Amino acid sequence: MRALPSPAGLQAVGLRKIYGSVVANRNMSIATQAGSIHAVVGENGAGKSTLMRLLQGVERPDGGEIFVDGVRVDFTNPGDALRHGIGMVHQEFMIAPDLSLLENLVLGEEPVKRSWGPLSWIDWPTARTQGQALADQIGALIDWDQRAANAPVHILQFVEIIRLLRRGCRTLILDEPTAVLAPVQVDELFALLRNLRTQGTALLFISHKIGEVMALADEVTVIRQGETVFHSSVAECTADEISRHIVNGELHHVANDEAPQPQSELLSIASLNARSVNRSHTLHNISLTIGSGEILGIAGVAGNGQNELVECLVGLRPSSGLVTLNGIALSALNPSQRRRHGIAYISADRRHEGLSMQASIETNVVAGSHRTSPISHGGWLNRAAMRKIAKDRLQALDVKYDRPSDPVSTLSGGNQQKLVFAREIATSPQVLIASQPTRGVDLNGIAAIHQLIRDFRDGGGAVLLISEELDELIALSTRVAVIADGTIVGTVKAPASNLPLIGRMMLQGAAA
């Protein structure tokens, strides 16, 4: 696909990027237009993030060309791209948590009031006026004096966007911005992106959710195995058509589910209380049980105690009350002792909790099993056994990688998530605590993970499922407990037919 550079905007033609033996981008072509939202979709490992790194100057292509307003460019670093008006809204923000949002906004680019030799005085009133003017222009409500560490994640995204606008960006790249957001935050982000579009910004937006693409984007590009395979205006194609292009016709359907009757009680939580650092109650009086062969879903508006509950159960946060597994009290046990007793844990934050980013793929996938046979034998590490086990686990979820000895950081985001899941389910736990298990995972990956969760349930395991995807909760859960303001406000049976009730309980709790 060779096209002439478009007169305005950012355009890539036939980009290529190779890592070792992996061709991450084979033949990528894409163009942005002012005042248009361009969605980029494709399976995990298709090459989306790589393409964005090339467009933003983080890495250089091995072939192909990039044009800005019809002129060929060669970015050697992100500063080059910025000077051409192209910026990326990072997932891992370059934000200093202890500074205020205003300080973060101008960090490294402070307006200066006066200089005297090496000293300069920052012009804070000007910084605030500039920030506020841009926030007003795009419709963002920002408390500039808030510490970054206390700001919700979508507000950090807004600050990042304003920072790029302040530096003159006219093309913004967003790599899965909604993966870390709760549904209400997604709505706020979309409102802001629509304002940006109206004001003439060009947006490149990556997502795994076709619903988001249909709701937000003007055009869509599908990439598969490093190539652009489909491009259309969103008005002229259907969600089904896009999905089919993503998977090349190989959409896996999950078989109709007949949940078995839960058996005996496996995990029991009684009167659990936990305090946060500022001594206010974080969790109060939580009592729940999960039976063998049962999936208990936790629904709630983000930030109502979901993470704290999980931390208490896996032993990362002190709590009072009684938690038992098969009648054995867990309260005095540390996280690794709980793991040995059969509790597996999929963290919502895989980069910080689920993975050791600099360690190899195989080390990460066998972590936790490395002291047991057959990997460890009389204190010796059996590398062949380790490699075989790692390979089997990665295969179970079709994780795409080059060499098992490569750092896990070289995996695409969705493949990292699949790896964590494959590792945790492979240890034959009794209880699986799964927090946002399909975050960043593509359509077929979601189907595979859902099937593994059901298989685990059918084998007698108990699952605590925390998800911001109501669809996911409903599809999998036997019962759904609703958490609000640190307490369980009710439990709903047959969740599929009681969706409005769950929604009301989530909101009632939030309003209380």
Give the Cα separation of 457 and 450 in Å (integer): 11
Q: At what angle do helices 183-198 and 153-166 cross, to 10 degrees?
A: 20
By CB under 6 A, the count of residues binding ligand ATP is: 21
Residue 415's binding partner among ligand ATP, Mg ion, none (Cβ under 5 to 8 angstroms by kind) is ligand ATP
Position 204 contacts ligand ATP (CB under 6 A) = no
Q: Which is nearer to ligand ATP, 47 or 509 (CB)?
A: 47
Give min distance, CB of 52 to ligand ATP, in A.
8
What secondary structure, in 3-state letters, does 336-383 show?
Answer: HHHHHCCEEEECCCHHHHHCCCCCEHHHHHHCCCCCCCCCEECCEECH
DSSP state of 150: G
With CB under 6 A as the contact rule, which of the stretches 20-28, 138-146, 430-438, 451-459 interacts with ligand ATP? 20-28
Would you say 24 and 47 are in contact if contact means Cβ atoms under 8 Å apart? yes
Position 354 contacts ligand ATP (CB under 6 A) = no
Position 342 contacts Mg ion (CB under 5 A) = no
Taking CB under 6 A as the rule, which mask of x and - marks residues 22-41 in contact with ligand ATP?
A: x-x-----------------
Position 415 contacts Mg ion (CB under 5 A) = no
Position 316 contacts ligand ATP (CB under 6 A) = no
Would you say 431 and 457 are in contact if contact means Cβ atoms under 8 Å apart? no
Closest residue to bound ligand ATP by CB: 414
Q: Which is nearer to Mg ion, 49 or 410 (CB)?
A: 49
Position 45 contacts ligand ATP (CB under 6 A) = yes
Amino acid at 180: V
Q: Which of residues 388-427 bind ligand ATP (CB under 6 A)?
A: 400-402, 410-415
**Which has the closest alpha carbon to 305: 284, 336, 320, 327?**
284
Position 304 contacts ligand ATP (CB under 6 A) = no
Give the Cα separation of 176 and 178 in Å (integer): 5
Position 282 contacts ligand ATP (CB under 6 A) = no
Q: Which is nearer to ligand ATP, 44 or 292 (CB)?
A: 44
Q: Do strands 10-19 and 22-31 pair parallel, antiparallel, or not at all (unpaired)?
A: antiparallel
**Which has the closest alpha carbon to 464: 289, 315, 203, 300?**
289
For tokens 């046990």, name the residue: 333
Q: Which helix (H) or strand (E) holds 470?
A: helix 470-476
CA distances from 296 to 259, 310, 434 (A): 12, 13, 10
**Interface residue with ligand ATP, options 26, 38, 48, 170 (CB under 6 A):** 48
Residue 411's binding partner among ligand ATP, Mg ion, none (Cβ under 5 to 8 angstroms by kind) is ligand ATP
Would you say 51 and 15 are in contact if contact means Cβ atoms under 8 Å apart? yes
Position 177 contacts ligand ATP (CB under 6 A) = no
**Interface residue with ligand ATP, options 11, 32, 49, 292 (CB under 6 A):** 49
Q: Which of residues 15-74 bind Mg ion (CB under 5 A)?
A: 49
Q: Which helix (H) or strand (E) holds 492?
A: strand 487-493
Position 509 contacts ligand ATP (CB under 6 A) = no
User: Which residues pair with residue 202 across a beta bridge?
Assistant: 36, 171
Position 413 contacts Mg ion (CB under 5 A) = yes
Position 42 contacts ligand ATP (CB under 6 A) = yes
Give min distance, CB of 25 to ligand ATP, in A.
8
Give min distance, CB of 254 to ligand ATP, in A.
20
Give min distance, CB of 413 to ligand ATP, in A.
4
**Which has the closest alpha carbon to 35: 203, 273, 284?**
203
CA dihedral for 177, 181, 183, 187, sign (positive or negative)? negative
Torsion of CA 281, 485, 296, 154, to 10 degrees: -110
Give the Cα separation of 337 and 341 in Å (integer): 6
Give min distance, CB of 437 to Mg ion, in A.
18
Give min distance, CB of 186 to Mg ion, in A.
18
Q: Which is nearer to ligand ATP, 50 or 435 (CB)?
A: 50
Closest residue to bound Mg ion by CB: 49
With CB under 6 A as the contact rule, which of the stretches 28-36, 48-56, 135-143, 480-488 interacts with ligand ATP? 48-56
Binding site for ligand ATP (CB under 6 A): 19-20, 22, 24, 42, 44-50, 400-402, 410-415
Binding site for Mg ion (CB under 5 A): 49, 412-413
